[in-house]
Amino acid sequence: MQEIQRHTVTDPAEFGRVAVLMGGWSAERAVSLKSGQAVLVALRARGVDAHGLDVDRAILNALVEGRFDRAFIILHGRGGEDGGIQGALEFLGLPYTGSGVLASALGMDKLRTKQVWLGRGLPTPAYHLVGSAAELAAAAAALGLPLAVKPAREGSSIGISRVDAPAQFQTAWERAAACDSAVLVEPWIQGQEYTGGWLQGEALPLIRLETPREFYDYEAKYHADDTRYLCPCGLPAEREMKLRELVRQAFTAVDGSGWGRVDFIVDARDQPWLLEVNTVPGMTDHSLVPMAARVAGLSFEDLVWRILETSLVRPS
């Protein structure tokens, strides 16, 4: 499917009354509230009639009673980034930002994302789906150590462990299984971490991530002051363009549209490995898409405006 790249808006009145959907009930609620407040302030600064709504099970009633014209989805995790709210908004006939039901559901599910990528011949680590610590041990025998053990349907690195030895199998399994019944096991790829943002049909400048922690985990993403974000990423221009093309292929393979982010690692042999898609990335002061957009010449307010524009087009 070819994404419609942009419907340009110059008058905030064209957006009408906008509901900024934030919060929700996922494990990423706190991050969503922070992202949502930043989006709300930026939209209002640009003259948009925007209203923040902390999403609960009565959200559809609130949207109907509030007579909203469209929704800016800034819900992270399950219940907001997994196709659920997108499907509900489709039922109401209310336009919304970002990807549709299919891409949202696929992007939230790391297992299905990997299966789509493998079907398209895109590079992603081998995997096993495990249902117990004993199955994790069997996966380690097949894949080797170290391993990444992660819940298949969780974001912000919640529930992820690095496993270097059999003594860690039980704890890693329990940590991931507490978040999701589907637990994914992959080889731990040693290399340089990158992320590539996507906005209205274009890949944004890549960001190289450096952290003194074991990996780019929840603390490194949202709280640590020693995480380094390199953008420009320092790669030769031709190499960066090839990797940005990989971002495009990875995002569009899952039917992504509007805006989003793709995370990947490049190993010591210069081989990229796709890790996951985020269809509603963070918009906090530590978030990655705003950083890349700034290097591309867009202020935070410009970026939020452009994301809201995506509610005016829906690829078919």
Q: How far apart are CA 36 and CA 32, in angstroms?
A: 6
| Catalytic member of 79, 276, 287, 311 | 276
Q: How far apart are CA 191 and CA 5, in angstroms?
A: 33
| Catalytic member of 159, 261, 306, 309 | 261
* Known catalytic residue at 81: no
Phi, psi of 255, deg, nearest 5: 75, 25
- Chain-centroid distance of CA 38 in Å reads 17
Question: SS3 letters for 165-210?
Answer: CHHHHHHHHHHHHCCCCCEEEEECCCEEEEEEEEECCEECCCEEEE
Residue at 273: amino acid letter? W
* Known catalytic residue at 261: yes
Phi, psi of 121, deg, nearest 5: 75, 25
* Known catalytic residue at 69: no
| Catalytic member of 154, 240, 255, 263 | 263
| Catalytic member of 77, 155, 222, 258 | 222
| Torsion on CA atoms 258, 206, 252, 180, rounded to nearest 10 | -90
| Catalytic member of 3, 28, 154, 255 | 28
Residue with tokens 């959907």: 21
Tokens representing 77? 């995790």
Residue at 27: amino acid letter? A
* Known catalytic residue at 276: yes
| Catalytic member of 26, 32, 99, 156 | 156
* Known catalytic residue at 282: yes
The answer for residues whose C-beta is within 8 angstroms of residue 174's C-beta and 6 or more apart is: 133
| Catalytic member of 36, 100, 258, 282 | 282
| Catalytic member of 99, 278, 287, 311 | 278
Strand-pair category, 272-278 with 17-23: unpaired
* Known catalytic residue at 222: yes
Q: Give catalytic residue positions.
A: 28, 156, 222, 261, 263, 276, 278, 282
